[in-house]
């Protein structure tokens, strides 16, 4: 909490990176030495010196787990971008009658039941009844008609936009009414969980990245200023960080997001906001970033405090560089490797925080978005016994994967930037 504490904690937690950041300063000199040495030694030892970026990339490529994590993330983000195309149904599409509530995942038939041979995959329509004793829902296939799964179907009633630009109504697959295809079952209103998980990724996967940028901006700005100018400004900013750190994060998040999303709150009134889904989304981003900037500011401050005393900063100053130039050209770039790693590793935290908020119903609103946390909320709503509708827990799996892969990616980057761990 005090300055002493910062200096004590920093090397302990971030030891390797700390040095990694400092290495940037030494880098040019070592390369120069190498170059002059090569000139003396002649062509025998000629070897192109690698740039820092190249070294990091080569190190990163050897990190199998991080690479796999990265590729899974690419896949997940692609499915989120093309959610409209991959999803057979719209985000809030459901049928009033006959309703298809709590349908288990639809069974896809690959073989002809009469001949037992492979056939075009098809599904049956399902009728629902209640078990007379247990009062549980029972589903039965109507085997009269087969509904083949069609690919590349146009559904004019369910248009979507890719990246908010390209409008289309082409869906990868679908079946004719009245049959429905629910790959991962349906919820209490008969909305398709598979489609909703795909659309939910658009919210849950982006919110972490956006919130990190908010936290990054605030942390870099305030941490940079505090570390560079010191004195009164430093004290003020660091006390502010302490104030934020003193209030338990979860409660602060809950209070802020529950108060701000009320359409009558003073801020919303001042800006004339109506709380649409997009705005609750942005609000969640800002609240997450606002609560999360403190740690980053503290770290950047201590990095800059130590970098300010290094020779190259003094040299730049001696050459007549202005304070702003020293800060922006020399000190902040020296924190880059650390910041990249730290940002990557804080994205999963923000994703978890968002799903938690959404789980409480305090994230982006349900109107025309879905979020994985919000979908998991369905599984605990009143009157639901999870053992009869286990598929409602499926949205937790992509959360797990997203967080896992971001962690793997971040660890890989950290090792790649760390000169101690070069392989």
Distance CA 320, CA 307 (A): 18
Closer CB to other proteins, residue 18 or residue 147? 18
Q: Which of 55, 254, 286, 321 binds other proteins (CB under 8 A)?
A: 254
Candidates 116-124, 182-190, 258-266, 323-331; binding stretch for other proteins (CB under 8 A): 258-266
Q: Beta strands of 301-421 (E only): which ranges? A: none
Query: Smallest gap, in angstroms, from Cβ of residue 159 to other proteins?
Result: 33
Q: Which of 41, 127, 162, 246 binds other proteins (CB under 8 A)?
A: 246
Candidates 90-98, 129-137, 246-254, 330-338; binding stretch for other proteins (CB under 8 A): 246-254
Q: Residue 376, interface with other proteins (CB under 8 A)?
A: yes
Q: Which of 35, 250, 315, 336 binds other proteins (CB under 8 A)?
A: 250
Candidates 20-28, 137-145, 255-263, 299-307; binding stretch for other proteins (CB under 8 A): 255-263
Q: Residue 259, interface with other proteins (CB under 8 A)?
A: yes
Q: Using CB under 8 A as the criterion, what x/- string covers residues 380-419 for binding other proteins?
A: x----xxx--x--x--x--xxx-xx--xx-----------
> How many residues contact other proteins, by CB under 8 A?
52
- 185 to each of 11, 73, 107, 157, how far by Cα in Å? 50, 24, 10, 21
Instruction: Please report which residue ranges of 230-276 form alpha helices under DSSP H.
Output: 231-246, 249-260, 266-271
Q: Residue 356, interface with other proteins (CB under 8 A)?
A: yes
Query: Smallest gap, in angstroms, from Cβ of residue 235 to other proteins?
Result: 10
**Bridge partners of residue 125, in order along the sequence:** 142
- With H, G, I as helix, E, B as strand and everything else as coil, classify residue 45: helix
Candidates 104-112, 148-156, 174-182, 257-265; binding stretch for other proteins (CB under 8 A): 257-265
Distance CA 380, CA 392 (A): 9
Closer CB to other proteins, residue 243 or residue 314? 243
Q: CB-based burial of residue 249 (10 Å sphere; 0-12 exposed, 13-18 middle, 19+ buried)?
A: middle
| DSSP conformational letter for 121 | E
Q: CB-based burial of residue 264 (10 Å sphere; 0-12 exposed, 13-18 middle, 19+ buried)?
A: exposed
User: Angle at the Cα of 270 (from 268 to 275), degrees rounded to 5?
Assistant: 20
Query: Smallest gap, in angstroms, from Cβ of residue 250 to other proteins?
Result: 5
Q: Residue 352, interface with other proteins (CB under 8 A)?
A: yes
Closer CB to other proteins, residue 125 or residue 378? 378
Proportion of the chain in helix, strand, coil states, percent, rounded to 5 = 60, 10, 30
Q: Residue 31, interface with other proteins (CB under 8 A)?
A: no
Distance CA 171, CA 198 (A): 13
**Interface with other proteins in residues 110-139 (CB under 8 A):** none
Q: Residue 236, interface with other proteins (CB under 8 A)?
A: no
**Bridge partners of residue 192, in order along the sequence:** 186
Query: Smallest gap, in angstroms, from Cβ of residue 65 to other proteins?
Result: 9
**C-alpha gyration radius of the chain:** 27
Q: Residue 7, interface with other proteins (CB under 8 A)?
A: no
The two tokens of residue 167 are 């409008």
Distance CA 90, CA 159 (A): 8
Residues 6+ positions from 108 with CB-CB distance below 8 Å? 121, 122, 123, 149, 181
Q: Residue 8, interface with other proteins (CB under 8 A)?
A: yes
Query: Smallest gap, in angstroms, from Cβ of residue 408 to other proteins?
Result: 7
Distance CA 125, CA 387 (A): 24
Q: Which of 285, 359, 412, 418 binds other proteins (CB under 8 A)?
A: 359
Residue 98: asked if its preceding bond is cis (omega within 30°), the reply is yes
Q: Residue 264, interface with other proteins (CB under 8 A)?
A: yes
Pairing of the two strands 160-162 and 118-130? unpaired
Q: Residue 105, interface with other proteins (CB under 8 A)?
A: no
Candidates 38-46, 121-129, 164-172, 259-267; binding stretch for other proteins (CB under 8 A): 259-267
Q: Residue 273, interface with other proteins (CB under 8 A)?
A: no
User: Could you tell me if 131 and 139 are in contact, meaning their C-beta atoms sit under 8 angstroms apart?
Assistant: no
Query: Smallest gap, in angstroms, from Cβ of residue 124 to other proteins?
Result: 26
Binding site for other proteins (CB under 8 A): 1-2, 5, 8, 12, 239-240, 242-252, 254-256, 258-260, 262, 264-267, 348, 352, 355-356, 359-360, 373, 376, 379-380, 385-387, 390, 393, 396, 399-401, 403-404, 407-408
């Amino acid at each position: 909490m005090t300055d002493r504490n910062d200096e004590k904690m920093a090397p302990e937690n971030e030891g390797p990176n700390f040095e990694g950041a400092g290495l940037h300063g030494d880098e040019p000199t070592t390369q120069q030495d190498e170059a002059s040495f090569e000139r003396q030694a002649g062509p025998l030892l000629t070897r192109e010196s690698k740039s820092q970026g190249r070294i990091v990339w080569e190190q990163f490529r050897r990190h199998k787990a991080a690479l796999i994590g990265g590729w899974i993330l690419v896949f997940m983000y692609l499915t989120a971008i093309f959610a409209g195309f991959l999803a057979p149904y719209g985000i809030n599409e459901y049928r009033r009658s006959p309703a298809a509530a709590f349908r288990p995942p639809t069974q896809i038939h690959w073989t002809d039941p009469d001949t037992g041979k492979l056939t075009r995959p098809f599904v049956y329509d399902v009728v629902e009844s209640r078990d007379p004793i247990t009062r549980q829902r029972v589903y039965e296939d109507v085997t009269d008609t087969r509904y083949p799964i069609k690919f590349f179907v146009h559904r004019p009633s369910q248009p979507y936009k890719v990246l908010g630009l390209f409008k289309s109504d082409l869906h990868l697959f679908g079946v004719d009414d009245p049959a429905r295809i629910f790959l991962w079952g349906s919820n209490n209103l008969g909305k398709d969980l598979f489609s909703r998980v795909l659309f939910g990724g658009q919210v849950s996967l982006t919110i972490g990245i956006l919130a990190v940028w908010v936290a990054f901006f605030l942390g870099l700005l305030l941490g940079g200023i505090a570390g560079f100018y010191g004195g009164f400004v430093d004290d003020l900013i660091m006390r502010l960080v302490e104030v934020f750190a003193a209030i338990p994060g979860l409660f602060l998040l809950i209070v802020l997001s529950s108060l701000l999303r009320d359409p009558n709150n003073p801020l919303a009134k001042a800006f004339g906001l109506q709380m649409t889904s997009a705005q609750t989304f942005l609000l969640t981003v800002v609240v997450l970033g606002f609560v999360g900037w403190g740690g980053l500011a503290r770290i950047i401050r201590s990095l800059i405090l130590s970098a300010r005393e290094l020779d190259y900063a003094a040299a730049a100053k001696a050459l007549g560089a202005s304070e702003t130039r020293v800060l922006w050209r020399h000190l902040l770039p020296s924190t880059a490797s650390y910041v990249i790693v730290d940002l990557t590793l804080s994205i999963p935290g923000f994703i978890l925080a968002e799903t938690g908020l959404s789980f409480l119903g305090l994230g982006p609103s349900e109107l025309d978005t879905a979020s994985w946390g919000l979908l998991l909320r369905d599984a605990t709503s009143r009157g639901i016994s999870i053992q009869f509708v286990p598929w409602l827990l499926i949205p937790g799996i992509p959360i797990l994967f997203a967080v896992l892969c971001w962690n793997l990616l971040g660890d890989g980057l950290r090792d790649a930037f760390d000169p101690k761990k070069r392989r």
